[in-house]
Each structure stands twice: as structure tokens, then as C-alpha cells.
Structure 1
Amino acid sequence: MLDLFATHDAQRDAQDNIRTLTERLHYLNHQYYQNDVSEVTDQEFDQLLRELQALEKQYPEYALPNSPTQRVGGTITKQFPTQEHRFPMLSLANTYSETDLREFDERVQKGLEGAEYQYVCELKFDGVAMSLRYEHGQLTQGVTRGDGTRGDVVTSNVRTIKTLPLHLREDAERAAPADFEVRGEIFMPLNVFNDLNAEREQNGEALLANPRNAASGTLKLQDSAQVAARRLRFYAYSFLSTGRHFPTHSAALQALKRWGLPVSDTWRLCGTIDEVLAFIHEWDKKRFELPVATDGIVIKIDDLRQQELLGYTAKSPRWAIAYKYPAEAGRTRLNEIIYQVGRTGAVTPVALLDPVPLAGTVVKRASVHNANQIAALDLRLGDLVFVEKGGEIIPKITGVDLSARPADAVPIVYPTACPACGTPLVRPEGEAHFRCPNERGCAPQLKSKLEHYVSRKALNIDGLGAETVGRFFDLGLVRDAADLYDLPRRRDELVNLERLGEKSVQRMFAGLDASKEVPFDRVLFGLGIRYVGETVAEKLAAHYRSIDPILNASVEELAAVPEVGGVIAESVTAWAQDAANRELVERLKAAGVQMQLTGEAPQPLSDRLNGLTFVLSGVFEQHSREELEQVIVRNGGKVTGSISKKLSYLVAGDKMGPAKREKATALNVPIIGETDLLAMVTDGGL
């Protein structure tokens, strides 16, 4: 009996000690990362953490859900599930122009009908947008932005971020709601990024392009211990919950900080657009002193009721805008030009440079785009060239320092044959790129088509990334997308390949099975038809509902589909007339890949617009362009992309280009506005 009591007392003591150590370590973390206060040495902190780990190992039933020990990682996630966002993560409208900001301010004035308002200006940190959920003060979920509607659940990786509270601090001024979300940016500090690239360079690995890509890739790692080693950080910039908890955005930011969430101190309230512009100018150079990459300023209306009044377009809020800083430029030496062959056969020159620091990264390569740019810049090997990062992401050469041109600078001669397969290059009339026409036998083209098919925005086949399909191609196992579905027949061969094994092969086969349920529009995008991007694939799929009518449509019929037009229609028709492409489609059908949309097509609302065709141009006040297209189509009309004599109406929005207006006027095509269109359908069509 005494032993029983002793055991019970030991368990109770262990539970109390676990709770005490957990609270102590959370407090020390907050002091160190939020207040820059070190109350104990690193050695003392590590000792406390080891004590907690030992107790949790001995008494796992008493470990708290958000224990500080989770920050060191150790969770292995084979596949990240996806989840729909309770509150959509919309993107912001972007601008590089101060004139656009003043026009934005004028629209705000108009929308608020003369009421007083203030802006909150925040630095736009260059990382990965993240939605965090807190329930009863505990961090319960982390979800990536994804497509804005659904994202990946990466909670185990998010928990490793040491600046992020796993449980909230109590606040006497305002208690945190029982259930709310925090939006913010997960980023990789510049020093961590530079250290990581230095390590990769020593190991002969490919360098990471920029801190944002590095942070994104880190969050997709399956081992949370590796994520913890990357030392990611987080800044909160938004509070979301049902009901109204704060009068202003700035009040919400202050509360988030009191609850222990990291909020950058760089934000500021501005009473006028002139103050906003002063804030932008202040941080133009000052931002490079920060330990994190930034690419602009986000401007938001502070009053939350005013935000609701201004509302949203289909893609972004009307009460916020992002100003992007112009690209930073540097000067360095051009050493060599290499030529890369892309998925469509385009041969793209890439410049190899002396390393130059630019916008927080070291640039060694830059795009030269095409032969026209080489000629226009009169580039020569050995030149000192000016390099800038477009959007501070992709470096490009913008000019040559002719005053410093060496006497032995070598003119660049563009190749006449494909650097990969030797086929003579062609240059279609009106195009800037030379192309390799050997699309059936040029290895980089074939490999890139496979990589595109399995990519995230297309079929997104788990276990078959770009590196794996590239390896299979090199080994002669696959040559086109349909070959992927024959891989299960080669199981014995695959499991014996280095770095694969039974588990990897099983995962790959499961990914192939799952890809057979991917919607038709993404399959159409995955086929890699030139000019058919995500939006065009969605439009074609919605219009035709299955692959066969697309393959059999004429150029004129395809061009009449909204967002398509003549150039895309000709490309689709040429692709469809190729017997090898039709055979590929049939093989994919036989494999079970979705070649038609499921579910019912949207039902028409009326026939009021029968026989009428419309072109939509510009930005509209009440609805997005996509919504207005649906109004037209569901009331019997057609939307096209080009103006001709047969056009019934040009629907003009704000900022419509003058060329379309002039052409419509010359052809006597009536020009109407959004309200005129909606008046043509008595119920507004929505």
C-alpha cells in the first residue's frame, strides 16, 4: 500500500514539474524572442529543456499539447492534408506607382462618402502567408495560403518556430477570444538564408533562389526536426474571428502583441495619403537594414467598419493595396552565356556573372530573355553589366557599362542549332525566341513536359516530383505522361533503384491512383499545350465540359470562348491535329485520368442576351470580370476577346485601354457600362 501511495505521489510530482517547467520555458522564450531579454544563460535554458524532455519521456500522459519540446521537431509527416480556409486568404492589388496610390485614395474617399479615415502602413515581408488558429489560448493549427480557398495543414512544422507562442499570454486589457485566426508571414531571416546557401555550396548542392522560396520549401519538409534547424520566424499582421472584437486594425495588432504574438514594430498609422507616401520613402533604403527580406508596403484602412463598407472585389479587398518597391540594381561582370531549352522548345539564354549582392541575396546568374535583347544591349563576354531583380526575385540584365568595356570583349553569337539535340533552330514569324522544333526527340522538352504534368498546379502527383520523373526519363522508364501510369507494371525494377525502395514506390503508386481523380481543367493544363495556362484551361473545360469537343473544335469556335482568342485557338488546334497528341489523350483516358468535368453544368437564367456577343475591358466597380462573364453566358449571350464588326457591345470599365475604344468607335460598335449591361437582364443575372 505504501508503494502505491509513493507511486501516486511521484506521478503527481511529475505532472506538477512538467507544468511548471512548461510555463517557465514559455516565459523565457517570450522574454528572449519578443522582449530581447535573456533572463538565463543558453546553458541554463537547455538544461531546463532537457529536464522537461526527460519527464515527458517517462510520463508521456502528462505532456501538454503545446509543450516547448515540440519546437525541436521530430514529427515525420508523409503527406500534408489540405483544408478549406474559414476566411478566404485573398491576395492584394499591387502597384509600383505613387499615382496609383493617390487614385486608390480617391476611390476610398468616394467609397466612404467624405468620412474621416486613417491608414495603417505595414512592411510587406517576403515570406509565406500563413493562417494560424488558436483555441482557448492554444495553437491548434497552421495552414498555408494555398490557392486562397484551401491550403496545406503544416501544424507540426509551424510549432518549431521559436518566436511563435504555442499558448497565448494572459492580457488584463482584453482576453483573447476562445477561437480565432491569426494571419501572418513566415520567413527565413537573411543570415539563416545566407548560412544555408553557403552550406549547400560547400556540399555541391544547387543554391536556393531567395529567402521566400527557402521558407516555402522548408515548410514542405516532412521532418519537423529539419524545419526546426532552418530557424524560420513569423510576423503577425491580421486578426480574424466571427463577430467584432476590435474597432480598428491597429487595435487588433496591439492586442496580438500583448497576447505574445510577434508583430513587427515597423507599422504606423497615417492620416493622409501624403503621410503614406512619406512612410514609403522612409523605408525605401532603410528596409535593407532589417534582418528579413521586404519588397514593399501594405496600406490598409484602419477602421474595420469602414473596411466592411468598402468591401471586396472577387480577388482582393477594396480597402487595401500593396505598394511594391522598384527593383534594386547592381553592376558585375558577364563571364558566359549558356542556353536552356524549355518545355515548348524555346531556347533561353542565361548569363553567368561574377557574384554580386542584390536585394539581400548574392546573384550569380541572370536572364537575358532572347536573342533580341542580346542584340539590343550589344552584350559581349567580359562586359560590366547592370543587373536588377524584377520584383526582387528574378535577376535580369538591363544594360552595359560601355565606358568600362574591355578591349577584348567577345561578341555573343547566338546558336543556330539546339544545344541539347543539335536540331536547327527556327524562329516563328513575330516571335522573339528561337525554338527547337524537335518536340518528339529533344530530351529537355520531353523531360519538362513530364515535370509540368506532375507539378503542383497540374496533376500534383505525390511521390513523383520533378527530380524523380527526370530520373525516370534519363533511365528510359518514361517518355510521356501516359507512361507514368504503366510504372506499376515495373514494380520489381523500381524497388531496386537507388534511393527508392518499397515504401517510396508504394507512395508513388498511391499518388498515381489519386491523380486519376484530379479535375479535368487541371488535367487539361497538365497536357502542356502552348499558351493554355490555368485560367484558359478552366475556361475551355467549363465551356466544352470534356476533351473530345476541344480536340474537334475549329479555330473560330475556340477563339469565341472567353479568355481564349485567336493565338491560343490556333495553338490548341495545332496540338489537337497532331496524331501523337491524340494518342496520348486516348492512353490517358484508358489509364482512368479525368477527361471531362463531373457534375451538372450551370443552368441558364434567361434568354435575354441570345444572339448577342460582348467584349469586357477594364476594371468594374460592382462585379469582377469573371462574374460579368457569367451574367452574359447564363442569360444566353457570348463573350469574346476581340472587337469586330459582328460584336454587339463593348462593355467598358475603369482603365480600359484607348485602343479598344478607338477600334469599337471606328466599327460603330456600341460602348456600354457595367450598369447598362446589368439593366439588360432584369434580375442582374446574379
Structure 2
Amino acid sequence: MSIETKIKNLRNQINEANYDYHTKDNPKISDFQYDALLKELIELEQLYPEFDDPSSPTKKIGGIVLDKFIKHTHKVPMMSLGNIFNESELDSFYERIDKVISNPTFAAELKIDGLAVSLIYESGKFVKAATRGNGTIGEDVTENVRTIKSLPLVLNEPIDIEVRGEIYMSHEAFKKVNLERANEGLDLFVNPRNAAAGSIRQLDSKIVAKRSLSLFTYAVVEPMLYQKTQIDILKYLDKLGFPVNPHYKYVESLEALKESINYFDELRKKLKYDTDGVVIKVNDLSTYDMLGFTAKHPKYAAAYKFQAEKQITEVKDIIFQVGRTGVITPVAELKPVFISGSLVSRATLHNEDYILNKDIRINDYVYVHKAGEIIPEVIEVIFDKRNDQEPFKMIDHCPACGGVLERKLGEADYYCTNPNCSGKNIFGLIHFASRVAMDIDTLGEKVVELLHDQTYLQTIPDIYKLNQYSNELQELPGFGKKKVEKLLDAIENSKNMSFDKLIFGLGIKNVGAKVAKTLVNVYPSIELLIDAKYEDLITIPEIGPEIALSVVSYFKDNNNINMLLELKSFGLNMTHEKEEILEHEFNNKTFVVTGTLDSFSRTEASSIIEKLGGKVSGSVSKKTDYVLAGRDAGSKLDKALELGINVMDEETFKVKINE
């Protein structure tokens, strides 16, 4: 057997193993055998580079590092789907279809909660992948998508085809990547969808390869060239070697459609990945042009969105946490229950009024869901299961330090009045070091708690004294020389953070990141800010009486002044150079940013707008000039359209900011 033949045979064996394991979920060889085959192929390809092939399964390991993503214009736009939220809306959708096509049939498919992608093949070989972007222009993510093991690099037929699908992260992969990030002291991903989207936009494909992403395909561009119905398209994709979700149904009536939705709603609780609804498509592809499109959605398809999953569990206890400003937050400790892809054992109870209004008591059985599919929340007590539980009574002393609690008139929260409260100190330190404030890498919640317990960290200035204890820190559990060096380097780098980040990091009541920027623009040094007068502060746009009072009170406290002087002695930046406002069409324009942006966080987009002379507001009104709308923009976008306000998509925004 020649070397070339041996290499081809190895590639075929590995491709077949990838298909069995990642697409059919039916592995036929052991992990040990797979690793041995892959190792042999890698060695042969390195020895004989003349037989290199971009379709080799070794390309799934990654290795390309990109400077940035190239833009890709979609041959056919990647439109989003209109949403259906209840049976009444489903009836209306069906009736509208039935008026055009008598007795329509449908394909009902699980809506995978991931990142939409378009895949392009030439002569059966994978050549390009692109994100949805704004529907017309996406990002070329070919090298990152190539690393997905369920993606076929070579199809079973040598055809030219463009396929649409969804990249997602399984619960198992999500748990693994977050465990790795926790061990490295990095921020955790919020949910599998965010993890998948964030992974695909990594510039280093080796990182993507380690994230164990998966893929389902569900559509073909210009499908009539290949098949006549959506069900046939799914079968054809499977025949070509694409991963296709096996949970789909052919539906012949409205009642059957409702039954299939109920079936999928129950099924999703047993799946190993997240799904947030059912995609309903008219099955006959030849009717699509007849049914037509809106400006944003095809009329022949819609996404039925599941109600937020809720589960019954027991409130085992109600505990109290102390925030960085001293606010006391009650938290329900729950009998652990699995909700929307993760195990939930705690849920916020917000404040005393929330608990009393819902009459939540220890040992009650309650319904719990994830607000926004993210934050666990108790939504309702099951009173039929109540016995003789004692009514809730708010505590009157701080759980951390024993200080007296105070609830001010007109406020819902209680505060610890002890300025030296250990609970406040810990959360204050965590906030100061957080990514959105001073961005001190590796100084996360667990590390702060450990260093606080070991008496190394009691106040913010103690952070800048940790370099005196380098050797001792290396002996602490979970630490070592490299971790300590990384921590001390991050602390040193934080001294150069902008003045507004420092002010935000101090945790002054009512002073968020945006207010901190406003303050340093008006008072560009710590001395000027310390001397700020209440009557001057309230004249500044966006700073009302409550914020002004918080600022004045904070800088009247000698303990705070002494702390700032100590921080200044360590070399922290306490001045602000006003940025030159560029001549730009955003000057003096008011923006509202809503939805999910692919290339920026909302904070980053807001910062760019402000640097170009614009203002960012949290609500839409007649005074709003632009709404920057990302994916899944909701009521703010609706209000903007209602008021006739200019709506800007992300691609237009990117063009504008580069002008």
C-alpha cells in the first residue's frame, strides 16, 4: 500500500468515526482507537506534506489565528422567523396559510438555541461558513466552523450546495468549558447559546476546537433544485452526511400541529442541549413564493416559542446576602431542581415586599423559573401544599457583621449601617476588581473570599499591598507561582485604568458606570470631585437629587478620603483627560441600544457612541434619534417603529463608526 493510499484510508476511517459518534450518536470504535488513528494520520501528514488536503479531519484540531473576520454577502438573505407565543396566535398563523393553500401540511422541527450559520460546499467539499450577521452580510468563520467534529468536510455526493444550520453547545460541553474557565479564574459563560456564539467568534481556531461545539442542519438555499418538500430536504441532508436533528414531524392538521408542540415541549426536558421552541414550516416548497415575505420574515414559517420552563421545588431556607453598598438581599435556598439546562439550588427573593406580596415561607412548595431564561426566580407559592409554615419575618441585624439594618422611607431595600461590615467589604472588593470596573484578572469572588478570610484583603488599598506577600500567597490552596504572578501583574496594570472605572469601582451608592463617566467629564480630578457641591451636581444632565446626595455623602466621609489618598500614593490614575469629540453625525444624537449585538457588547457599543459625541438612553421616547437594534430586539424596537424613530442595524452601525 502506498503512503498516499494509507493517508486516504486513515482519513476515511476517521471521517466515518466522526459521523458515527457526532452525527449518529452511535460510535463504532473506542476513544482509544480513534486517538490512535488520528495520531497516525497527523504524523504521516507532517512527514508527507505533498499529500496535504484542506478536507482532512486533522483540520478539525484548529490552528489558524485570524486578525479579524472577513465579511461575507449571503447569496440569499438569512431571514429570521416571526414568533408565535400562544395557541391563539398559532390559530391565526394557520388560518392565514389556509386561505392561500387549502389544507396545508407542515414540518415541525425543534428550534435549537444556538447560532445560525450558512455552509457552502463546492464539488461536495466544504469551502466556507458564515454567520447570519444582519441577514444580508455576515462574518466568514470558516476556520472556526471547520473544527466542529459533526461537520462533514466532504459530502457523500460531489455537489455544489449551500446549507443553513445552527451551531450549539451541549449541556455536557457547556459544563466542561465553564469548569475550565472557573479553574482559570475567568468569567463563566451565562448559558450554552452565549458560549457557542462566543466560541465561534474566537480568532484562534485552536480555542474553538477545544469547546466541543455541535451542529444541526435544517435548510438548503434554493431547495427546489434538490427536493420538493421540507421533510424531503431533511432526509436529503441526512443522506449527504449532514447532522440533522432526528426530532421532527410531518403534520397534516392544526390539531396535529398543537399535539406536536406539546410533544416537543415535554421532550425538551430530556434533551442534552437547549431548545426554545418549534419551527413550523409549510411542507410544500413550491408554495413559498405564493405565500411571500414580510420585510423581516417569511410568511410560510414561524417559530412557536415555549413558555419559560418552570418547576416545583421546596424552599428549604431563606438566607440573606450583603451587597457592596450594604443592601440586604433575601435568597431562597431550594431543594435542587433542573430548569432550562442547569441545576438550580438558589433563587433571588429581591426584597421584603416581594416575599410578603407572594407570601413565601420556609418549607413552602413553589414554582421556580429562570427570568429571561437566566436568573432563577420564585414566581408563585403552591398554597395547597402548605401546612403550618411560619410567616416570613425580615431580619433587623446584618447577617455578616451584626450591624443594625435600616430601611429608608420610600425604598424597598434594607441596608447595613456598619461602615466596616465584613459582608460589604467582601462584595465591595469583588466589585472593585471585576471586569467592568478595575479588571483585575484572577481576583474573582472565590479568591477575594479566600484572601479576606486569610486577612490579606480587608480594604481596597490592601489589593495594592499584596505584592508584599508574594511568597506567602504561593502557599495558599489553589495558588502557585504562575497564578500569583498573573494576579500581581493584573493589579499593577489596573493602576492605569481610566478614572471613571476607579470611581465606578468604589461602589458609591447610585453611581453606575454611566454616571461615573458623567462625573469625571465634569470633575476631571479626584480633588475636584471631592469638592463637588450638591447644588452644582444636580444641574448636570443625568444626575438627579438622589445621585447627587450619594456623591456628596461619600466624599464627606473622612474614611473614604483617607482611602483615596492611600490609593493615590500607590499610583492609581485619578485624573481624566477629556476625549476630543470627533466631528461625526452621532454628535448630540440620542441612541437606545437594544437586542443582542454580534460584534459588541451593549456596553462597548454605548462607549463608541459616546466617544463619537452621542448620548445613550435606556428608554425610547420622541427625543430618541436612533435605536441600535441587535438580534431579538423586543419592546424597545416595537416602540421605535411605532414612533417612526430611525432604526439602525449592527452592520450599518459598523459602517457609520468607521466613517
Please state which band the TM-score falls in when normalised by the shorter chain: 0.5 to 0.7
Report the CA distance shift for 1:479/1:142 in structure 2 as closer, same or farther (over 3 A).
farther
Which is worse superposed, 281-290 or 16-25? 281-290
The Cα shift of 1:379 comes to 3.2
- In structure 1, the residue matched to 2:170 is 187
CA distance in 2, matches of 1:101, 1:545: 54
TM-score by length of 1: 0.61
Matched, 1:508 2:491: no
Matched, 1:600 2:583: no
Query: Out of 163, 171, 192, which is 2:150 matched to?
Result: 163
CA contact (8 A) 1:120 1:268 kept: yes
Which residue type is aligned with residue 472 of structure 2? E
CA contact (8 A) 2:365 2:386 kept: yes
Residues 58-97 of structure 1 aligned to structure 2 (within 5 Å): 60-62=46-48, 68=57
Per-residue CA deviation, residues 271-292 of structure 1 (Å, 9 max, x unaligned), is: xx99999987774445335432
Matched, 1:42 2:3: no
The Cα shift of 1:421 comes to 0.5
Report the CA distance shift for 1:81/1:518 in structure 2 as closer, same or farther (over 3 A).
farther
Residues 5-16 of structure 1 aligned to structure 2 (within 5 Å): 16=5
CA distance in 2, matches of 1:309, 1:594: 53
- In structure 1, the residue matched to 2:356 is 375
Query: Out of 536, 540, 544, which is 2:518 matched to?
Result: 540
The Cα shift of 1:295 comes to 3.2
Matched, 1:27 2:16: yes
CA RMSD of aligned residues (A): 6.8
Which residue type is aligned with residue 422 of structure 1? G
Secondary structure of 2:509 counterpart: coil
CA distance in 2, matches of 1:597, 1:256: 58
CA distance in 2, matches of 1:309, 1:380: 49
CA distance in 2, matches of 1:431, 1:93: 42
CA contact (8 A) 1:651 1:673 kept: no
- In structure 1, the residue matched to 2:421 is 442
The Cα shift of 1:168 comes to 4.9
Which is worse superposed, 597-606 or 525-534? 597-606
- In structure 2, the residue matched to 1:395 is 376
- In structure 2, the residue matched to 1:202 is none
Report the CA distance shift for 1:475/1:161 in structure 2 as closer, same or farther (over 3 A).
farther
- In structure 1, the residue matched to 2:452 is 473
- In structure 2, the residue matched to 1:417 is 397
Report the CA distance shift for 1:260/1:593 in structure 2 as closer, same or farther (over 3 A).
farther
CA distance in 1, matches of 2:559, 2:237: 58
CA distance in 1, matches of 2:434, 2:399: 25
CA distance in 2, matches of 1:133, 1:396: 39
Report the CA distance shift for 1:386/1:674 in structure 2 as closer, same or farther (over 3 A).
closer
Alignment: residue pair count = 585
Secondary structure of 2:490 counterpart: helix
Which residue type is aligned with residue 29 of structure 1? N
CA contact (8 A) 1:125 1:293 kept: yes
CA distance in 2, matches of 1:213, 1:310: 26
Query: Out of 318, 332, 357, which is 1:351 matched to?
Result: 332
The Cα shift of 1:616 comes to 9.1
Residues 570-585 of structure 1 aligned to structure 2 (within 5 Å): 570-585=549-564
The Cα shift of 1:214 comes to 11
Report the CA distance shift for 1:443/1:121 in structure 2 as closer, same or farther (over 3 A).
farther
Which residue type is aligned with residue 369 of structure 2? E
Report the CA distance shift for 1:638/1:466 in structure 2 as closer, same or farther (over 3 A).
closer
CA contact (8 A) 2:591 2:624 kept: yes
CA distance in 2, matches of 1:571, 1:93: 46
Secondary structure of 1:27 counterpart: helix
CA distance in 1, matches of 2:626, 2:269: 42
CA contact (8 A) 1:446 1:480 kept: yes
CA distance in 1, matches of 2:162, 2:128: 15
CA distance in 2, matches of 1:633, 1:210: 27
The Cα shift of 1:350 comes to 2.1
TM-score by length of 2: 0.63
The Cα shift of 1:530 comes to 3.5
CA distance in 2, matches of 1:427, 1:567: 15
CA contact (8 A) 1:425 1:436 kept: yes
Secondary structure of 1:417 counterpart: coil
Which residue type is aligned with residue 42 of structure 1? I
CA contact (8 A) 2:322 2:424 kept: yes
CA distance in 2, matches of 1:168, 1:329: 42
CA contact (8 A) 1:339 1:350 kept: yes
Residues 90-109 of structure 1 aligned to structure 2 (within 5 Å): none
CA contact (8 A) 1:347 1:436 kept: yes
Query: Out of 326, 332, 341, which is 2:322 matched to?
Result: 341
The Cα shift of 1:588 comes to 5.6
Report the CA distance shift for 1:527/1:636 in structure 2 as closer, same or farther (over 3 A).
closer
CA contact (8 A) 1:382 1:410 kept: no
Secondary structure of 1:431 counterpart: coil
Secondary structure of 1:334 counterpart: strand
CA distance in 2, matches of 1:327, 1:369: 20
Which residue type is aligned with residue 163 of structure 1? S
Query: Out of 147, 158, 162, which is 1:172 matched to?
Result: 158
Secondary structure of 1:490 counterpart: helix
Secondary structure of 1:381 counterpart: coil
% of aligned pairs identical? 27
- In structure 2, the residue matched to 1:664 is none
CA distance in 1, matches of 2:83, 2:506: 33
CA distance in 2, matches of 1:61, 1:402: 72
Which residue type is aligned with residue 494 of structure 1? L
Matched, 1:53 2:34: no
Per-residue CA deviation, residues 210-245 of structure 1 (Å, 9 max, x unaligned), is: 963996799799xx99999996534468999xxxxx
Q: Which runs of 5+ in 1 are unaligned?
A: 1-11, 106-118, 146-150, 198-207, 241-245, 313-319, 620-624, 658-671, 676-683
The Cα shift of 1:24 comes to 2.3
- In structure 1, the residue matched to 2:631 is none
CA distance in 1, matches of 2:496, 2:386: 58
The Cα shift of 1:376 comes to 2.5
CA distance in 2, matches of 1:638, 1:260: 50
Per-residue CA deviation, residues 47-93 of structure 1 (Å, 9 max, x unaligned), is: 3541442464587445878865787x8x99xxx999678589x9x99
Report the CA distance shift for 1:422/1:473 in structure 2 as closer, same or farther (over 3 A).
same
Which is worse superposed, 507-516 or 50-59? 50-59
- In structure 2, the residue matched to 1:5 is none
- In structure 2, the residue matched to 1:493 is 472
Which is worse superposed, 459-468 or 417-426? 459-468
CA distance in 2, matches of 1:274, 1:566: 58
Residues 525-564 of structure 1 aligned to structure 2 (within 5 Å): 525-534=504-513, 536-537=514-515, 540=518, 544=522, 546=524, 548=526, 552=532, 554=534, 557=537, 560-562=540-542
CA contact (8 A) 1:565 1:642 kept: no
- In structure 2, the residue matched to 1:456 is 435
Which residue type is aligned with residue 507 of structure 1? K
CA distance in 2, matches of 1:543, 1:274: 61
CA contact (8 A) 2:165 2:215 kept: no
CA distance in 2, matches of 1:396, 1:322: 26
- In structure 2, the residue matched to 1:665 is none
The Cα shift of 1:344 comes to 2.3
The Cα shift of 1:424 comes to 0.9
CA distance in 2, matches of 1:229, 1:638: 40
Which residue type is aligned with residue 367 of structure 1? T
The Cα shift of 1:426 comes to 0.9
Q: Which runs of 5+ in 2 are unaligned?
A: 94-105, 134-138, 180-187, 596-601, 628-633, 638-642, 647-655
Secondary structure of 2:369 counterpart: strand
